[in-house]
């Protein structure tokens, strides 16, 4: 794996809610930046916080899926 020393920019394939593509920037110092294409405002976050948020979202989605499965199973027993 190579160290991140330069800014790496990539454009998403799909358009977001505003009809524009997103530009994702990986920056030295373990920072991620997101902005809409052709806009100047960039939103920054440490990669560790993004990772924590994604893990939390996935754990919550699994918990909800298990809860729904239990509810469906109980309904089937009646």
Give the pLDDT score at 75. 87
The tokens of 40 are what? 């100047």
| Tens-digit pLDDT profile for residues 9-18 | 999 999 988 9
pLDDT, averaged per 10 consecutive residues of the chain (78 residues), comes to 94 93 96 96 97 98 96 84
Give the pLDDT score at 44. 97
Give the pLDDT score at 10. 97
Whole-model pTM: value is 0.78
3-state helix, strand, coil in the chain (%, to 5): 40, 30, 30
Give the pLDDT score at 78. 67
Partners of 25 in the β-ladder = 9, 33
Concatenated DSSP letters for 29-44? TTEEEEEETT----EE
Each domain of the chain, given as residue ranges in start order, spans 8-77
Give the pLDDT score at 17. 87
Half-sphere exposure of 64 (CA within 13 A, CB side): 6
């Amino acid at each position: 794996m190579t160290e991140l020393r330069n800014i790496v920019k990539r454009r998403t394939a799909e358009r977001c809610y505003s009809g524009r593509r997103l530009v994702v920037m990986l920056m030295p110092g373990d920072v991620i930046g997101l902005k809409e294409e052709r806009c100047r405002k960039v939103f920054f976050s440490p990669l560790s916080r993004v990772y924590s948020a994604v893990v939390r979202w996935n754990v919550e989605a699994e918990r909800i899926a298990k809860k729904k499965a239990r509810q469906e199973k109980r309904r089937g027993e009646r």
